[in-house]
Chain A
Amino acid sequence: MKEVKIMKNDEKKRVREMMLSDYLGEFYHCFHCHLCTVADWHSLDRWLPICPTFAYYGFESFSAAGKVEIARALVEREINDVTPRIAQIIFSCTGCGACFEQCRELTGFKANHTEIFEDLKENLVERGHALPKHIGFAKSIEENHNPYYEPHEARFEWLEEGLAKDEGVVYFAGCTSSYREQQIAKSTVRSLDAADIPFRVLEEDEWCCGSPLLRTGQREKAKETARHNVEAIKKTGAKTVITSCAGCYRVLKSDYPKLLGLRRLAFDVVHSSQFFTSLIDEGKVKFDDKIDMTATYHDPCHIGRHMGVYGEPVYEEPRKVLEEIGVDIVEMPRNRENAWCCGSGGGVKSAFPDFSLWTAGERVKEAESVGVDTIVTSCPFCVRNLTDAVEESGKPFKVYDLSEILSEALK
């Protein structure tokens, strides 16, 4: 596959700088119906909120319609001074994309809310209103190539010797699985090994994918990590990159080409759930001993709704893998396009921990309401926040990443 360039650098810059104002026409088309705040009751036959930020804070300003008005007012220079409250309103958006999912089929509002709100965050950053927590992890990414203030050289300490090869697909572990949820990275490589898939890692050349930067309006800083990672992957000659991180998946697959002005990358990016689904379909992986488990599945926004906009949503593949393993999935009312966000995205977990935890707690309650005690998901950041909510609730709930169940089944 060949990399295809579509824009020169100065063109990209111009496009980026005009981005928020480019939406001005669309801002006039939001008539504040608030359908963006409620899950699709036609398909669910239930009345359930879908925007965590609006549900938690309550003020109109925190709804998608409210933020659209703030964006319009900024573009039209009705607001010159960004108040701390405006920064709170804009940066507390988890960027889950649920608003756009509800709006896009029904109304005349044609722009993507998630993109608008990320551009809005960038606009605030450019005006000097980046949040201290976000500035902090950006600095850590710059210095350590991860947002966790961890030493870069410790990135692959989790990797057992002898598993990774010098050939085959690239496994992109991501920061959260490398430093915080290492069981996910370990399980994924064990599964690759069990399936006889040769893989390699980028070792010191794997830097943060840039997702925390992109999701908090620090786009310029993400470009360097994007360039570096793309070059590092290209150097390996690998044609496929696998990642078990939903955030990395979206960034590598969808954001990198846009950031770098490319139509496509020289390699394919797949989420581990997609990769193992292919192996199952091809008969290369079989599960002789089924796992006896009943669980619900939580759709991460980054591989679900977001990819529904930028490519193909990854809703069915994780479920297929779980079903093949023998897991009995009991769906929560809000699933797939209507999934309730775990609350950790968009820089919210670091900057607004109480709100973030509340959002995850709501998801745990929803899981509990369908009579299960186990949540499986496909994102290390979702795992982290849902686990935090479970610990906060003190309930005997279990939260797993898909890779952990898969690895167990392949033993």
Chain B
Amino acid sequence: MRAKKIERELVQILGEENVSSDVGDLIPFERDDQFALVPPHRPDIVVMPSTREEVQEILKLANRHKVPVVPLASGINRKGLCIASKGGILLDLRRMNRILEINEEMMTATIEPGVSFGQLVKEARKKGFRVITPYAPSTASVLANYMLRGIYGTATRYGIDHLINIEVVLPDGAILQTGSAAFNQSLPYCNIVNGPDLCKLFQANPGTLGVVTKGVIRLYEMPEVIEPLIALYPDYASMVEPSIEMTRRNLVASCWPMMFTGAAMKILTDFMEEDIYMMWLYLEGDRGQVERDKEAVEKITERYNGFFLPEVPMLDRDTMIKDQIWERTSVKGWKGGNMYGCSFYGVMKSVTRYYEVTREISKRHGFDAFHYESVPVAPFHGQLTYNDPCIFWDASDTEQVKEIREIHEEIKRSLVDIGIYGWFRPFPSVVDTSKLGRYGEMWRKIKELIDPNAIMNPGKPPL
């Protein structure tokens, strides 16, 4: 009865064509490929607003009825973040896909949450700008990715902070502008206002504090030259020092030390079957700078017993350059069927241990197709490094599902024992606020303050 009433009210707000409680429209949202770690659950209704005002009305309604709301930006759900664990309204924001402004003077883009990287890259390029793209398919939402702090091809030089301001509809329907937009909405290009940067407060909260309806992001000059290089090394440890040196000297835009087992290479290439330790490097800038950087990078590589591949059979140069500008081939990691990852931030000097322990766990559980990557991130103070131990597996095999659950717990424990900065994203399967002391308490209090009825994406951190 209540559900029908809510549906009628939603139809009044959005029109029949943008509301559905039909099982056919709900099934596609009930799980993602990490269902082993976050149980599937179906929303009760899916709605597709196209304006901020509609979002406001939906949240007011949900708050009044104390109904959960799960925002989903461009339709890509990762690691259970947008599973409607307690049912409710799935807020599909794909129709809010307008690029509101590309400001050449300010080097910014103002966009809605449904704007994908591919869409923005295309428009930004028309004005000579580049969007920093994540290692994710270009169908991903720019704002969702920046809000949840993705890992970017160019993180070694440009870091992971590309968001300036956001506009958020709070659970009670009120609108919050962060940064300079709070003071002067005609000048929303700065994250500094009189007090703290509230944009950062909302970052890494997976739709648990409100709904982002607009954001101002940073654009960058397109480099004259992008030069991809692939260097091979004898083992993982050999890649650590050169990574540190290249990053500290700002020689490379991207530095991706990686390891693939033979089994993983077989899946990815169909013909290579050897364990491989490789470093993807992208040099960028004007021609002169790239030449100078290349010379320095070659010397460092040689010094640490690395050598460059003249060509890569499974990955041509053009594809690599295009991937650096707008991703497409990142999904090849799923070629084995499914890919488990337990990404986190750690210290570059410790990556060999992270790698060894996670590989050992994977091997012990019978998963030979393993991959590891560790990416130095700017600013590199504290040797900030993104890490991701990945296992190729098959989610359709119930035995493997069980194994993956066990592996996940072991990997988490082992990494904490070695010492890491924290988990990459607020994935429900890794974040435990009870282990975060006062910080965890404060995080939960902030959540209670902003969302007292706990309608926003319940079941996600902070739990």
Interface of chain A residues 359 through 387 with chain B (CB within 8 A): none
- Given known A59-B48, A83-B22, contact A38–B118 (CB-CB < 8 A): yes
Question: A35 to B328, Cβ gap below 8 A?
Answer: yes
Q: In whole angstroms, how far apart are the Cα atoms of A221 and B334 in the complex?
A: 38
Q: Is A291 an interface residue (CB 8 A)?
A: no
Q: Is A310 part of the binding interface, using a Cβ–Cβ cutoff of 8 Å? A: no
Contact flag A31-B33 (CB < 8 Å), given A41-B138, A61-B27: yes
Inter-chain contacts of B338 with A (CB < 8 A): 28-29, 31, 108
Q: CA A86 – CA B23 in complex, angstroms? A: 8
Report the bound CA distance from A161 to B30 in whole Å: 62
Minimum distance in angstroms from A378 CB to a CB of chain B: 30
Q: Nearest Cβ distance between residue B269 and chain A, in whole angstroms?
A: 13
Of B24, B319, B396, the residue contacting A29 (CB under 8 A) is B396
CB of A107 within 8 A of CB of B335, answer: yes
Q: A29-B395, A35-B139, A106-B328 are in contact. Are A61 and B322 (CB under 8 A)?
A: no
A78 interface residue per 8 A CB criterion: yes
Q: Would A60 and B28 be within 8 Å (CB), given that A28-B394, A79-B23, A83-B22 are in contact? A: yes
Known: A60-B92, A61-B28. A46 touches B122 (CB 8 A): yes
Q: Provide the A91-129 mask, 1 if CB < 8 A to any CB of B, else 0.
A: 000000000000000111100000000000000000000
In the complex formed, the residue of A with least CB distance to B29 is A60
Contact residues of B between 294 and 308, Cβ < 8 Å to A: none
Q: In the complex, A314 Cα to B31 Cα: how many Å?
A: 39
Considering the chains assembled together, what is the distance between the CA atoms of A79 and B29 in angstroms?
14
Distance A28 CA – B94 CA, assembled complex (angstroms): 24
Contact flags (1/0) for A23-50 with B, using CB distance below 8 Å? 0111111011111011011100011000
Q: Say yes or no: A31 contacts B24, CB within 8 Å.
A: no
Chain A residues closer than 8 Å to B31, beta-carbon distance? 69
CB distance from A57 to the nearest CB of B (A): 9
Once bound together, how far apart are the Cα atoms of A109 and B30, in whole Å?
19
The distance in angstroms between the C-alpha atoms of A58 and B395, with both chains bound, is: 28
Residues of B contacting A26 with CB < 8 Å? 396
A70 CB within 8 Å of chain B:
yes
Contacts of B395 in A (CB 8 A): 28-29
Q: List 28 A-B contacts (CB under 8 A).
A: A28-B338, A29-B338, A29-B396, A31-B331, A32-B28, A32-B33, A32-B76, A35-B137, A37-B139, A41-B118, A42-B322, A47-B116, A47-B119, A59-B48, A60-B28, A60-B75, A61-B24, A61-B25, A63-B75, A66-B28, A69-B30, A69-B31, A70-B28, A78-B27, A86-B24, A106-B328, A107-B331, A108-B338
Per the bound structure, the CA–CA distance linking A83 and B337 in Å amounts to 30
Is A65 interfacial (CB-CB < 8 Å)? Answer: yes
Residues of A contacting B209 in the complex (Cβ-Cβ under 8 angstroms): none
In the bound complex, CA of A31 to CA of B339 (Å):
10
**Of residues 312 to 332 in B, which have CB atoms within 8 Å of A's CB atoms?**
319, 322-323, 326, 328-329, 331-332
> Of the candidates A25, A85, A109, which one forms a contact with B20 in the assembled complex, judged by CB atoms under 8 Å apart?
A85
Residues of the B chain whose Cβ atoms lie less than 8 Å from the Cβ of A83: 22-24
Interface size on B, residues (CB 8 A): 45
Residues of B within 8 A of A86 (CB): 22-24
Residues from chain A with Cβ under 8 Å of B29 in the complex: 60
A65 vs B122: C-alpha distance when bound (angstroms)? 24
Cα–Cα, bound, A40→B323 (Å)? 12
Q: Give B residues with C-beta under 8 Å from A.
A: 20, 22-25, 27-33, 46, 48, 74-77, 92, 94-95, 116, 118-119, 121-122, 137-139, 319, 322-323, 326, 328-329, 331-332, 334-338, 394-396
Q: How far is the CA of A146 from the CA of B394 in the complex (A)?
A: 46
- Whether A89 is near chain B, meaning CB under 8 Å from some CB there, is yes
Taking CB atoms, residues of chain A closer than 8 Å to B94 are 58
Contact between A24 and B396 (Cβ–Cβ < 8 Å)? yes
Bound form: Cα–Cα A61–B137 in Å: 20
A35 to B121, CA, bound (A): 16
Q: CB within 8 Å of B: which of A66-89?
A: 66, 69-70, 73, 78-79, 83, 85-86, 89
- Note all chain B residues with C-beta closer than 8 A to A41: 118, 122, 138, 326, 328
B123: nearest chain-A partner, CB-CB: A47
8 nearest A-B pairs in the assembled complex, by CB-CB distance: A86-B24, A28-B396, A66-B28, A25-B396, A31-B33, A85-B22, A34-B139, A47-B122
B137: chain A residues at CB < 8 Å are 33-35
- Would you call B28 and A65 a contact (CB within 8 A)? yes
A25, A32, A46, A59: which contacts B32 (Cβ < 8 A)? Answer: A32
Closest Cβ–Cβ distance, residue A30 to chain B (whole Å): 8
Residues in B whose Cβ lies below 8 Å from that of A42: 319, 322-323, 326, 328-329
If A42-B322, A42-B328 touch, whether A70 touches B27 (CB-CB below 8 Å) is: yes
Bound CA–CA A117/B119 (angstroms): 28
* Chain A neighbourhood of B46, CB < 8 A: 59-60
- Rounded to whole angstroms, the CA-CA distance of A65 and B396 in the bound complex is 16
Question: What chain A residues lie within 8 Å of B336 (beta carbons)?
Answer: 108
Q: Are A32 and B23 in contact (CB under 8 A)?
A: no
Inter-chain contacts of B334 with A (CB < 8 A): 29, 31, 33, 107-109
Query: CB distance A28 to B95 under 8 Å?
Result: no
Chain B residues with CB below 8 A from A29, complex form: 33, 334, 337-338, 394-396
Q: Within the assembled complex, what's the spacing in Å between the Cα atoms of A58 and B33?
A: 22
List 18 extra interface pairs beyond A38-B139, A46-B122, CB under 8 A: A27-B396, A37-B139, A41-B122, A59-B25, A59-B46, A59-B92, A60-B29, A60-B46, A60-B75, A66-B27, A69-B27, A69-B28, A78-B27, A83-B23, A85-B22, A86-B22, A106-B331, A108-B334
Q: A213-236 interface mask toward B, CB cutoff 8 Å, 1 = contact, 0 = none?
A: 000000000000000000000000
**Distance of A83 Cα from B92 Cα, bound (Å):** 22
**Is A59 in contact with B76, judged by CB distance below 8 angstroms?**
no
